[in-house]
Every structure is written in structure tokens, then in C-alpha cells.
Copies of this chain bind each other. A is one copy, B any other.
Amino acid sequence: MDYPEPIAQLIESYMKLPGIGAKTATRLAFYTIDMDGDDVTGFAKSLISAKRDLHFCSICGNITEEDPCAICSDKSRDQSTILVVEEPKDIMSMESMREYHGLYHVLHGVLSPIEGKGPEDINITSLVKRLQEHDEVKEVIVATNATPEGEATAMYLSRLIKPAGIKVTRLAHGLSVGSDIDYADEVTLLKAVEGRTEM
């Protein structure tokens, strides 16, 4: 005996999500059947709406309903700084800090020779074009992740942008606030020592 068709299809759909295997998908599918009807309808609607109503901002690549996005069209923001991130959700992390008031640019990935991802596969051309068209930009802050690919991408961007006379900076590496030196890995510790500041 197989599962009834509707639940078999729902299990298959759940399995298309990252990190969800057959066991978890089955558990989620049975849970869905027991859920409130309105919640399920709302879930289905939000799936459709997220796919249909969201686009990438034609300027910065952020996810948005209107084009350009709320940040790009906010003229009160500092137009002289662009912070470069890997993914749209990194923008939310930065915004939650409430201290950065410049613009953003989303790469939608990183350079990765192993995965065959070169400069033309991520959102770099539009960044260069943006810098050429807007000479009020004085600084590009590269906030790619502290992974080998993130570092390589930061290095690539720096070499590409610096010759145009624009300042290129990178987020500081060091100990997490509240963390214990005991638990820091050697590379982080080295970066923390190298980047030490005077008190």
C-alpha cells in the first residue's frame, strides 16, 4: 500500500526544500493535515505570493516588491558608501545593527573556482557600472563571509575597484563579543592579534 496521492505529493514537495529528507518530509506532511485549515491556506498563498510578487532590485539586487527597493529609493541614506554582501538576507543582518546608513549591493553568490563560478556568474558587472555612473560613491565595504570563497571574492573586488580611486574596506575579523579566548580557533585568534587596537 502506498500513501494516498495528496499526501505522497506533499511529502515530495517538502523533500525539495534544503535539509529535509524523507522522514522529516513525512512528519511535516502528517503535521500539515492536522493543522488549522486557514493556516494551510495561508501557507499556500504565501508560497505563491513570495514567488510571484518578489523581484530583485534592478540597482542593488536586494529582494523587493517595488523596483527600485526601499533602500535604493531612500534619498536620505548616505549615497557615498556601498556595502557589498553575498545574499539578500545579509542586508537584514546589517540593518538590524541600526548603525549603517549607506547603500547595499548583493552579489548573489561568491567566486568559487571549484563550483565553476567566475566573476560573470555573480552580480559584479552591475556593481562596476553603478560605480562608474555614480561618482559620489567614495567607499565600498566588502562584507562577504569569512570563508575562503568570501575572502577571494573580497580580494577580487578590491583589485577591480581600487584603481578607480575608490576606498575599499573589509569587515574586521576578531573575537566575537562575549566569546571566550579558550574557544576561539587559531586563525580567528591570529586575526584578532593582527587587528589589535590601541586603548
Contact = CB atoms under 8 A, between A and B. Distances in A.
B88 A30 contact: yes
B28 A65 contact: no
A92 B46 contact: no
Contacts of A194: none
A183 interface: no
Interface string A63-107: 111000011000000000000000111011001000000000000
A65 to B, nearest CB: 5
A53 interface: yes
Contacts of A26: 89
Contact of A42 (B3, B9, B18): B9
Contact of A89 (B30, B49, B63, B87): B30
Contacts of A42: 9, 13
A48 B41 contact: yes
* Copies of this chain assembled into the complex: 2
A31 B17 contact: yes
A49 B6 contact: yes
Interface stretch (A32-40, A133-141, A161-169): A32-40
A47 B89 CA distance: 26
Nearest to A49: B6
A113 to B, nearest CB: 22
A4 interface: yes
Contact of A28 (B18, B31, B95): B18
Interface of A: 1, 3-7, 9-10, 12-14, 16-19, 24, 26-33, 35, 37, 39-51, 53-54, 63-65, 70-71, 87-89, 91-92, 95
- Which 3 pairs of residues, A with B, have the shortest CB-CB distance? A44-B44, A13-B43, A9-B46
